[in-house]
Structure 1
Amino acid sequence: MSGDEDLPPGGGRRRRRSPAPAPPLDNDDLLSDILLRLSPSPSSLPRASLVCKRWRRLVSAPAFVRSFRAHHRRNAPLLGFFTEGESRVSFTSTLEPPDRLPRGHFSLDLEGRLHMLGCRHGLVLLLNRMEHYFQVWEPVAGDLSRVAFPPEFGNGGSAVYQHAAVLRAPGDVQAGEGPSIPFLVVLVGSDTTVTRAFACVYSSETGVWGNLVSTACPSKVPMYNPSTLIGSSLYWLLGPEMAILKFDLDRQFLEVIDAPLHNCHYDMLRYWVMPAEGGGLGFLCMSGYNAQLWMRKMDCDGISGWVLGRTIELDKLLLNSGEDFPPLIIGFAEEDNMSFLMASIDGNISGIMVKLDSTQFQKPFRIECLGIYHPFASVYTPGIGIGGGHAGAEHR
């Protein structure tokens, strides 16, 4: 073969062309990065898996699922709520199809004397007060972690348990390659004379409790409602002399703050600590059909105090509401700033989810028990079967 065959018709030597770059969607890394930005709703990855075998292979890879959950964990969708029965914690989905989860998902049989305290960051906190330990449950992965009380709160200790909270440990990196979420448990209590409040923090990463911190707290316990996380601080509503206990996680500092209606009789279903409109500490009070939204502000002298922001007349918003049963507060979803209210609708006692800052309502749900409803937000990623089916939950 002659070398002239390599010459173009006009003479000169032909340049060798570089291979054409792969189209963007033919690059697995780039496509995975695009798929990572799908909505965190439960149906997103299963629907993406139906596009083709390649997409199914990418979205079902354990490394991708971990990245997907980490990418969306700060805006995890509200999946539903937990309620506690005699011996079982049951989950009810509040999503519409195709995102609604089947009844029976995330249910747990309570062993011994376990009692549910609250949810946060995809975690559920359970308590066995008689045997002095907590169970931290991750419903999506099915993991259970047992955490014993610190010595100060155990038999012979000087502190008396009052309440506790669970939250994801700070930081963006998940510990190890396992499914478990690194978490903190914050235990709060009082002395036997109810003159001081105590707090102590457990870290799952170190496996130990931190130092006990305390503050003066005269006759302002017990606590009934779950805690509220605002910024880096946890808040509990105290009674019977209504006040608010604040625990600053960053500073490890505990203090008591007056409530806006501290002269009122404490009622666990009429008052709730919540974020204020625009940020900061807020407070919700139900007075008949009026929802009062208070906010804590600092004046020109640097002194903090409560200011009534807005009063929402719920009887003008709730259609077919019964005048004989004003709304009560049964839960609050921090991630969505969503209040769970119980009211009479069309003659039936129903649950209502409402964003009070925008007065947006969602469809009523059935009330099956009287008590606290625990909203649960998480990134739920059903496993993708080889044939395109969905098998269970993908572990974190």
Structure 2
Amino acid sequence: MTLNKGNRIVDCRHGLVLFIRRRPRRRLLVWDPVARDQRRLIVPPELDNDQMLMFNGAVLRPASGQGHFQVALIAHARLSNHTRVFACLYSSETGIWSKINSLQLQSYMAMPEPSTLIGNSFCWLLKVPPDLQDVILEFDLDRQSLTVTELPPQVKARPFKLRIVPTEDGGLGIIHLSTFQGQLWKREPGSVWVHDGAIEFEELRSACKGDRYPLIVGFSEDSNAILVQTNSGVFMVYLRSMEFKKISNMGDFHLHYPFACFYPGAPDA
């Protein structure tokens, strides 16, 4: 597929890749590389104007399957000092966008990392001034509602040192990377955060050259693995087994969007 310069990848899940094009006209592109299929989506008119900025999105195939997909779009008003965030959901089954939901915030800074799917909710990281504390923006696909969850006060992460990850039981969790150690946290009922253990990356340290501390540049939901950028390249670190493998020699910083596509096996003869 040939991409225009204005297309920016924002998400990759369930064998689909989502792009946002901001200019000359706002469009979303859903690409299925295996099926060689492309679907272009027209942005809701309320968000398709110079006063609005689409800053992130997400894509999935619903559990019902049947070849359908859903796309979430996140935007904010350019002149509002980033105090209100807007979200809506598209269904390829109906070809219709949902009504636009919004949430008032004191202020925030959008981050470029893609979403993490937790249960049936898309989750993104935002930073809140003045101390740039991280919070989680959650878009519940069932209720089509937006909520914000504050992180533990102990977590003060620099850019690309934090990632939203599912817990072992599928709940909301985070990993906070500090040098070659990762701290795991999980949210319990009542929005209470509990420390969920630490991960040592000593074997990864020995495989790395130079003194750059690792940065989290991606997350594979299918493998439950973070992608870590170092001077020596990019490594995939599996959070359950703590095994790792090198997937690239790239030393320059780039966000990564792991692609995976699974098809059911053929029935027994």
Normalising by structure 2, what TM-score? 0.88
Query: Which of the pair is proportionally richer in helix?
Result: 1
Tell whether 2:40 aligns with 1:146.
Answer: yes
* Shift in alpha-carbon separation, 1:368–1:314, aligned structure 2, 3 A: closer
Q: Give the match for residue 170 of structure 2.
A: 279
Q: AA paired with 2:257?
A: H
Q: Which amino acid aligns with 1:370?
A: F
Q: Which of 60, 66, 89 matches 1:201? A: 89
Distance of aligned partners of 1:322 and 1:278 in 2 relative to their CA distance in 1, 3 Å threshold: farther
Shift in Å, 1:248: 0.5
Q: Which residue of 2 aligns with 1:246?
A: 138
Q: Is the deviation greater in 245-254 or in 218-227?
A: 218-227
Q: Which residue type is aligned with residue 125 of structure 2?
A: L
User: Structure 2: how far apart are the matches of 1:206 and 1:331?
Assistant: 32
Alignment pair present for 1:212 and 2:135: no
Give the 5 Å matches for 1:88-237. Answer: 108-130=1-23, 131-155=25-49, 159-172=52-65, 174=66, 181-191=67-77, 192-193=79-80, 194-237=82-125
Gaps of 5+ in 2: 265-269
Q: How does 1:375-394 map to 2 (within 5 A)?
A: 375-379=258-262
Moved more, 314-323 or 206-215: 314-323
Q: Quick one: distance in 2 between partners of 1:318 and 1:257?
A: 32
Specify the SS of the correspondent of 1:319: helix
Report the CA distance between 1:372 and its aligned residue.
0.5
Q: For residues 248 and 262 of structure 1, what CA distance do their matches in structure 2 show?
A: 26
Q: 2: CA distance between counterparts of 1:140 and 1:370?
A: 27
2:217 corresponds to 1:308? no
Aligned to 1:42: none
Same amino acid, percent of matched pairs: 39
Code of the residue aligned with 1:310 in structure 2: it is G
Pairwise CA distance, 1:217 = 2.0
Structure number with larger C-alpha Rg:
1
Q: 1:326 aligns with which of 189, 213, 217?
A: 213
Structure 1 unaligned spans of 5+ = 1-107, 175-180, 382-396
Question: Structure 1 residues 337, 111: CA separation in 2 closer, same or farther (over 3 Å shift)?
Answer: same
Counting only pairs closer than 5 Å after superposition, residues 11-26 of structure 1 correspond to structure 2 as: none
SS of 1:257's equivalent? strand
Question: Cα offset for 1:335?
Answer: 1.3
1:113 to partner: Cα distance? 0.9
> Aligned partners of 2:154 and 2:17: how far apart in 1?
30
CA distance in 1, matches of 2:45, 2:111: 21
CA deviation string 1:15-62 (max 9, x = no partner)? xxxxxxxxxxxxxxxxxxxxxxxxxxxxxxxxxxxxxxxxxxxxxxxx
Residue pair 2:59, 2:70 contacting (<8 A) in 1 also: yes
User: Offset of 1:266 from its aligned partner?
Assistant: 4.7
The 1-side partners of 2:169 and 2:61 are apart by: 24
Change in Cα spacing, 1:151 to 1:308, as seen in structure 2 (3 Å) is same
What's the offset of the Cα at 1:380? 6.8
| 1:220–1:243 contact (8 Å) kept in structure 2 | no
Establish whether residue 264 from structure 1 lines up as the match of residue 156 from structure 2.
Answer: yes
For 2:59 and 2:166, the matched residues in 1 are separated by 18
The residue type paired with residue 167 of structure 2 is A
Higher-RCO chain (CA-CA 8 Å, sequence separation at least 6): 1
1:77 aligned residue: none
Q: How many pairs does the alignment contain?
A: 257
Spell out, residue by residue over 1:171-214, the C-alpha distance to the aligned partner (whole angstroms, 9 max, x if none).
14x1xxxxxx3111100122331222211011112212110111
Aligned to 1:53: none
The 1-side partners of 2:11 and 2:64 are apart by 22
TM-score, length-scaled by structure 1: 0.61
Decide whether aligned partners of structure 1 residues 262 and 127 sit closer, same or farther in structure 2, where only a CA change above 3 A counts. farther
Aligned-pair CA distance for 1:265: 5.5
Report the equivalent of 2:255. 372
**CA shift for structure 1 position 151:** 1.0
- Return the structure number with greater strand share: 2
**Does the Cα contact within 8 Å between 2:233 and 2:246 map onto a contact in 1?**
no
SS of alignment partner, residue 293 of structure 1: strand
Deviations 1:295-354 (A, max 9, x none): 1113xxxx322222111121245433336122211100111111111224xxxx211111
